[in-house]
A and B are shown apart, each in its own frame.
Chain A
Amino acid sequence: MVKKVTFFVVLFLLGLIPTTFSQISSVVSEVKIGNAKENESLTIEARFQPSSSVTKAVIGYRSFGQNEFTVSDMMVQGSSAFFTIPAAEVLPPNIEYFMKFSMTTGVEETYPEEFLKSNTPIQIQVQSISGKDREVLVMSPEKGEKILPDEFFISISLLRASDIVNKGATKIYLDNNDVTNIALFAEDIIIISPENFQIQLKDGLHSLSVELYDTTNTLYHSVSSQFVILNPSYALLGQSAINYTGDVRFESRNENVQTVGTWYNNLNVNLQADYKGFNLQSNVYLTSEEKKYLQPNNRYMVNLSHDYGAITLGDHYPKYPSLVLNGKRVRGFSGEVNLGFFNIQTSFGEIYRNVEGSIIQYKDTLGSNIIEVNPSKHNGNKYAEVNPGTFKRSLLAVRPSFGKGENFQFGLTFLHVKDETSSIELGTAPKENLVLGTDLMFGFDNQNILFTTQAAFSLLNNDISNGSLSDSEIVATFGPDGLININPDDVKKLRDQVSGLFTVNQYVTPLNPQKLPSLAAEAAFSLNYFDNYLKSSYIYRGEQYSSFGQSYVRTDVAGINILDRLRLFENKFFVSVGYESLQDNLQKIKRATTTFQTLNTSLSFYPRTNLPSIIVGYTRLNNTNGLSPIKDPLDSTAYLSAINDITNRISTQLSYNFEWYYRHSVSLSFVNSARDDKSHANYDIDNSSVTVSSGTRWFDNLSSSLNISMNNSKVDTTNFSYVSIALGANYSMMQDKLLLSGSLSPSFGDYKRTSFDASALYYLMPNLTVQFQFRYLNYDYTSTKIDQYTNVQYAVKTKANDVIMGLTTQLYLQ
């Protein structure tokens, strides 16, 4: 009896395993089919040989007794094709099928291979329905369901199971593996929740089987079903449940520009992972452009963050109040703790690495770019003219703040940046910078009302090579025996008070801190209601404000900026008006104060019906300092310093989609900018271009574009006009796995140039691409060159052929 049961179970289990066929085929490596049961849908998966490139798959099937095959498209995904035969078609005793595949080469193959000759399909046996089947309900995954790995869980209802079934003895098999031990039994329901299910299911067809046992522990009944796990590479994009993602990109490019060939190779690896509220991000970028004599171009970064804090190591861009530290690459460490009521943020590391300078020649005396050198290292020479190197520049920033930043935050920022004088030998004027800042924000109604303000004060020392003044230097310079008769003790006291924090010597700016030349401040107030965003701000940037945590900050200006963006007619119209008025000469050290006025307006219309969309923009820049070369022709300063300059820029763009035999997109744009320069240089400009571009989609996989642009400009008294045409096409093949594009663009007139571009992008896998790019340029134009010594302009005819080739591969990991 036992043997009989065992035999039965083995037989049964064999029946559960999705049947795998492996007929000889050059296309199909295997076919997986679930357990075929009467009136239950049946999913078939055909797996392809690695080398085959199938663009289309169809299946033909017929139930017992039917003469004709029902032919349907299969879903091709990655290296498999799927089809689910509807339940009504699955009838005992069998169902027959064949498959047909189209290759990228145009060849068609069938499965089984001899089907076309013999017309003999493959037969699948169909089991008759059993009354006991209704006692088990597989609630999830449903039969034939196609699901993503992270949506997968198992639930089985035994509500209707017979009284003689011992529900607790039920066994569950997933792909023939017993997974009963991770199942949760709750009366009529058996659940295997996603948390308990740690195995990563491969994409493709899977089977689920449930065995019921009676109270005597004898197999009572079993049911099985199939489901398909989808490849998540696209589907998962952007969902919050991502555990890890990454991409690897490698690019190799050769640019042959005016006979000089340069290779550019770079590798970029990004990885990101989430685990229990922690987020890990890392980036490595390696490039052939990394040179010891330049600032680093390679990048290395790892960041671990959580709601309450974060740490970052490597190359990163710490974000502090924008006037103090923002956008500057720091190679080092940043950390932050965010408790809400109190937060602290700190960063330290280097912003420039040390790059040694080089000696041009030795000299006897000091002078410009001439520095003292150590005679023992330089054959007894005391001075040398050098190409100065770069000192290692180190940064420390700390910002404690109070409040979450949703409704309120107040922060204080300290920034200290200093060149390490000993980091290189051949350098001039190492510098030191100290910035103290404060910031405050109030936000109400979800920040629809927002007030922000920040201020910062800076100290800059332009040369710390000799450190702070020594006692003897102070005594020698100041006091009765020095040139300046003030109390040297006062100077010493000041020096000692700030020693360790900042170097005090004659190169410190500002010298007049009470006039606030190194203060920078700004305040902004914004309202966002009724589809209208209004922001007004005031800025003040002292003439000597300087923060080494900033790459660029415009100084010596103060003024207002108002911006209003309005959305109208259910967000179809956007109107935007911005006005800025700034003035320089805050410290009144210039003869004339320049007023910079900018008016920026734009109107956009994005209809939701088939009408053209329109964008119109107008910008007016008006800069004047009240001096006039005409009024004061004999006052050389006034003559040369006069600024009186108006630039008007108008731009219009119309885009329209329409159908006329094929689908077309047309875009028309017009841009004119005219500058009226009333300074002594009288550098007037009138520059216009009209561009018509059109795109046509001939078929789903073929589109073309044609752009024509006419350009006309007049600078000073010189006219320049040309026409350029660009003709391009995009073609996709092999079910969009291969994307080809090419364009040819000649220009005629004063600007002569022809370019040819070609690119092929191939999806080796949905997440792996290879792209080849080729570019050829031929240009022949007259350019204006300037003699380096005499500053005299002269014209040169230039002929050049440039060739650029590149290969890029990119892999996304998910």
Chain B
Amino acid sequence: MKKFNFMVVVLMLVAFTATNFAGENPQPAAPIAIVMKIVKDVSFKKVDGDWSNIKIGQALSTGDEIKTGSKSLALVKFTDNSILRVRENCSIKIYADKNDKQISKNTYIGKGGVNFEVAKQQQNEEFQFTTPTMVASIRGTKGFFQVGDEGTVLVLEEGAVDYKSLLGDQIKGNVKGGNSVVFTNDGQVTVSTISPDQQKQLEDSKKTNTKKIIIKTNQGDLIIEYLEE
């Protein structure tokens, strides 16, 4: 079953990439996003490259992957001002298809949590998220994805999202702000209003500011770095 999931996702992504680049000469991929902030352990990988440490200001192009370690964080900003906050122990891969001033994006979330703030998309543009269990199309909204072994949870703060489960009956639907959608591995899709826990998770996922307490002692400084409350 898991194998099947994987195949579906791979096929989808290949199809996405193939259609996007059909008829074009291969060119060095243009950057579509910038890494604005990193906390602790964040690495990235170019399409044909190896994993390496990332620096702030790193430009990302289609096919680039990012993964974060424990208590780590990456903030990615797209050229259309859309923002992804990649939380700890997360891996994502970004895809983009540019057509004149329109740029369609797809972010594959392998695991972990990603908070998104997608800027209003222009006509013929879309911002897609793909996980092993679902695909969601967003035209301008805020929310949070949590991808785990059990499936995917989408918590939508505002706006609207079109989704489709990739497994089971491949249920399609639309959800509005204030709701959450759970996509399970057996293809079940459950829509409900955001629970207090989810609300808290959503709020936490937005936080990217790190702060410090410096305790100055006669022997040295104890420095505690933490994510803002």
Residues of A within 8 A of B (CB): 137, 139-140, 151, 153, 155, 157, 159-161, 186-189, 191, 193-194, 234-235, 237-238
Contact = CB atoms under 8 A, between A and B. Distances in A.
A191 B103 CA distance: 19
Contacts of A151: 37, 56
A153 B56 contact: yes
Given A157-B79, A191-B59, A194-B55, A186 B103 contact: no
B168 interface: no
Q: Is the interface of B mostly helix, strand, loop or mixed?
A: strand
Given A187-B31, A191-B34, A237-B223, A157 B80 contact: yes
A797 to B, nearest CB: 36
A153 B57 contact: yes
B101 interface: yes
B34 A237 contact: no
Nearest to A151: B56
A151 B56 CA distance: 7
A159 B80 contact: yes
B214 A140 contact: no
Interface string B19-46: 0000000000011101011000000000
A757 B31 CA distance: 64
A186 B77 CA distance: 16
Contact of A140 (B30, B31, B77, B101): B77
B31 A238 contact: no
A155 B33 CA distance: 10
A211 to B, nearest CB: 19
Interface in B43-76: 55-57, 59
A159 B57 contact: no
Contact of B81 (A157, A187, A189): A157
A171 B37 CA distance: 25
A203 to B, nearest CB: 17
Interface pairs A-B: 7 shortest CB-CB = A153-B57, A187-B30, A157-B79, A159-B79, A238-B223, A193-B57, A155-B34
Contact of A188 (B30, B77, B214, B221): B30
A237 B98 CA distance: 42
Interface residues of B, number: 21
Contacts of A159: 79-80, 101, 103
22 contacts: A139-B36, A139-B79, A139-B81, A151-B37, A153-B57, A155-B34, A155-B77, A157-B79, A159-B101, A186-B59, A187-B30, A187-B31, A187-B98, A188-B30, A188-B98, A189-B30, A189-B32, A193-B57, A234-B214, A237-B212, A237-B223, A238-B223
Given A186-B31, A238-B221, A139 B101 contact: no
A193 B31 CA distance: 14
Contacts of B55: 193-194
Nearest to A197: B57
B77 A237 contact: no
Nearest to A158: B79
Contacts of A187: 30-31, 98
Contacts of B31: 186-189, 191
A642 to B, nearest CB: 43
A188 B102 CA distance: 11
A237 B36 contact: no
A189 B221 contact: no
Contacts of A137: 79-81
Contacts of B223: 237-238
A160 B101 contact: yes
A234 B221 CA distance: 11
B58 to A, nearest CB: 8
A194 B79 contact: no
A194 B57 contact: yes
B152 to A, nearest CB: 28
A189 B80 contact: no
Contact of B34 (A140, A160, A238): A140
A305 to B, nearest CB: 20
Nearest to A189: B31
B81 A155 contact: no
B99 to A, nearest CB: 12
A139 B77 contact: yes
Given A151-B56, A191-B57, A237 B79 contact: no
A194 B36 CA distance: 12
Contacts of B101: 159-161
Contacts of B79: 137, 139, 157, 159, 188-189
Given A137-B80, A159-B79, 10 more contacts: A139-B77, A140-B77, A155-B34, A159-B80, A159-B101, A188-B79, A189-B32, A191-B31, A191-B59, A237-B221
Contacts of B80: 137, 157, 159-160
Contacts of A139: 34, 36, 77, 79, 81
Nearest to B80: A159
A238 B80 CA distance: 35
User: Which of B79, B81, B212: most chain A CB closer than 10 A?
Assistant: B79
Contacts of B37: 151
B217 to A, nearest CB: 13
B81 A140 contact: no
A235 B212 CA distance: 8
Interface in B172-229: 212, 214, 221, 223
A159 B79 CA distance: 6
Nearest to B225: A238
Nearest to B119: A137
B57 A155 contact: yes
Contacts of A191: 31, 34, 57, 59
A673 B173 CA distance: 77
Contacts of B36: 139-140
Contacts of B103: 159
Contacts of A153: 56-57
A431 to B, nearest CB: 36
A179 to B, nearest CB: 14
B59 A189 contact: yes
B123 to A, nearest CB: 13
A57 to B, nearest CB: 22
Nearest to B55: A194
Nearest to B83: A139
Contact of A194 (B30, B56, B77, B214): B56
Contacts of A237: 212, 214, 221, 223
Interface in B71-100: 77, 79-81, 98
A766 to B, nearest CB: 11
A234 B98 CA distance: 43
B84 to A, nearest CB: 13
Contacts of A155: 34, 57, 59, 77
A153 B214 CA distance: 26
Nearest to A187: B30
A463 B55 CA distance: 63
Nearest to B37: A151
Nearest to B61: A186
A5 to B, nearest CB: 27
Contacts of B212: 234-235, 237
B134 to A, nearest CB: 28
A153 B34 CA distance: 11
B78 to A, nearest CB: 8
B28 to A, nearest CB: 9
Contacts of B32: 188-189
B73 to A, nearest CB: 14
Contacts of B59: 155, 186, 189, 191
Contacts of A186: 30-31, 59
B164 to A, nearest CB: 27
A814 to B, nearest CB: 12
A140 B34 CA distance: 9
A804 B190 CA distance: 76
Contacts of B57: 140, 153, 155, 191, 193-194
Contacts of B221: 237-238
B56 A189 contact: no
B100 to A, nearest CB: 8
A89 to B, nearest CB: 22
